[in-house]
Amino acid sequence: MAVSNVFLQYVLDQLSSWGNVHVNRMFGGAALYQEDLAFALIANDIFYLKVDNTNKEKYIVAGSTQLKPFKNNATVLSFYNIPGDVLENSDKFVEWAKESLDIQKKRNRQY
């Protein structure tokens, strides 16, 4: 689940217009936070955003796949990789990231 410094810096640059996104490296990967809520993960230099029933379909239509952090191919159903064209478009990238943060906010209020 390694994350290169070059890829991590690219992601942070793409999200820089959004404000204070911070990173917590763990298990060779990284989690990205906004407002103290994890909205994204990076594993093997692939960026994944939090999804739920409100936005998962657009990821599937775009050809995104679920996070598979382990060698046994088990998936993490609530995180999908972001399409390349979204990653490369800073405005669209921030828009998709905000959706994922909203999911985390909604989930956090439920507990």
**What are 61-97's pLDDT values in tens digits?**
999 998 876 666 656 679 999 999 999 999 999 999 9
Q: Which residues contact 84 (CB under 8 A, 6 or more apart)?
A: none
Domain that holds residue 82: 5-110
Q: Copy the structure tokens of residue 48.
A: 């994944």
pTM strictly above 0.85:
yes
Strand partners, 76: 67
pLDDT tier for residue 108 given thresholds of 50, 70 and 90: confident
* Domains of the chain: total: 1
Specify the CATH number for the domain of residue 10: 3.30.1460.30
